[in-house]
Amino acid sequence: MLRDRYKPMDLFTLVPALSLALEPVLAQLDRLLDDDLLFQHVKADLRRRAPHTATRGRPSTPVEVILRMLVVKRLYGWSSEETEHFVADSLVLRQFCRVYLQPVPDDTTLLRWANALGPQTLVALNERVVELARSLKVTCGRKLRVDSTVVETPLHHPTDSGLLADGVRGLSRLLSRAKVVMGHVTDLGQAVFRSRLRSVRRLVRQLHRLARRKGEGATEQLQHAYSQLIQVTQRSYAQAGKVSAALRQLGTQRAQQLVRLFEQFLPRVARVIEQTVRRVLHGEVVPAQDKLVSLFEPHSQIIVRRKTGKAVEFGRKVWLEEVEGGLISGYRILTEAGQDFPYLPDSLVAHQQRFGHPPRLLAADRGVYSAANEAIAQQARVKRIVIPYAGKPPPTRIAQERTAWFRRGWRFRAGIEGRISVLRRRFGLGRCQAHGEAGLGRWVGWGILTANLVTIGHRVADRSTRSTRRAA
């Protein structure tokens, strides 16, 4: 049964000699998280975890506790295990998370509840936090700056041999699980469950040695070793196809679960085999958008950054919209890793809906420029458009970009680079630790939501400190 919250109590009054209190920023976060709409968004998702979560079963961890512990987790960059340990160990965090003297949820419990929240719920939570910022006069949406960044996904550097080895390893795991489920009910024989991991590991080691050699003979040997590795992968693929077909005939729940896993994994392995044959054996250049770079994170993309030390990244691009006050008012995980200019019109529409008026100043880098985007911004009644010209600018454009207001806007635009740096270093947007596309959406959402809450907390706490000093 889903519980809303524990009975309120003040732990600080139990030990008055310690003079415990929430630090100023944490105290502001405590007030922000008391918002009922934030609570209801989270509760609506958690009650969908099972058909009768809201009304049946033993009392759950309260919704309020889950929300606050997930914020604390991202606030301090802890793992689920560390969050459980440090909240249990601190009276201040127990009070902030509203756990009081109750048992702190286990790390696995926290993880399961966190996975029950959908990425769209995190978007809705961030929209509500922006509304709270407006009500607290932290921002009013007069200025808007946009940019994109890359969030890396949890995968090793992709190589053809590594992907083929991953395919055989994944299929071997599924075959071993299928062998337990099927038992002696099958006429396929034991050979169909054979693991080919030793053969694959031997061939991968051989490929690593051959890759260091030079000359025509080395190229031929490398292609021969690759053809052997492809054949081994194809045999594992054929075995898995036979076992999957046999599992479909069984009516048990475990068998059908395995069938679904086979149906997810087999097309990815086939795609890896096909792209390796094209690249290595036929010498074709496979376009980046057609490549699969991970069997376990198939949504990952190849993103060419051309930056020092990391020319190419593997993950997903995230589009960020930041307003004055340092708030990320909106974000999107992009479906394509191309140019940035197609995403500006939607940002202007979203800003209008969010604040009820267009931004007075719009700033973006050169990658967002297009004549169409400037025309759309002008139609949206944006007064100052600070987007440098892409290509060789005409004399009138050069004169415009040298004006004082354009340079001020360009300096304002540079602030989003610092915001991205903070999001990557402090709030985990450098590399996603969650799995799957939904996991990436949750990871990005919690990072941006927590960053916005901290920004609002700092602004309001600084304002109250200044007021106290003036009064004194």
Full pLDDT tens readout for the chain, 472 residues = 889 999 898 888 887 767 778 888 999 999 999 999 999 999 999 999 888 888 888 899 999 999 999 999 999 999 999 999 999 999 999 999 999 999 999 999 999 999 999 999 999 999 999 999 999 999 999 999 999 999 999 999 999 999 999 999 999 999 999 999 887 666 777 888 999 999 999 999 999 998 888 777 888 888 999 999 999 999 999 999 999 999 998 878 999 999 999 999 999 999 999 999 999 999 899 988 889 999 999 999 999 877 777 888 999 999 999 999 999 999 999 998 889 999 999 999 999 999 999 999 999 999 999 999 999 999 999 999 999 999 999 999 999 999 999 999 999 999 999 999 999 999 999 999 999 999 999 999 999 999 999 999 999 999 888 877 777 6
Long-range CB contacts for residues 197-200, cutoff 8 Å, separation at least 24 = 197/168, 197/169, 197/172, 199/232, 200/164, 200/165, 200/168, 200/169, 200/229, 200/232, 200/233
* 146 close to 368: Cβ distance less than 8 angstroms: yes
Q: For 250-343, where are the alpha helices, taking DSSP H only?
A: 253-276
pLDDT at 184: 66
In angstroms, the CA 336 to CA 339 distance is 9
Q: Count CB neighbours of 8 within 10 A.
A: 8
Half-sphere exposure of 200 (CA within 13 A, CB side): 24
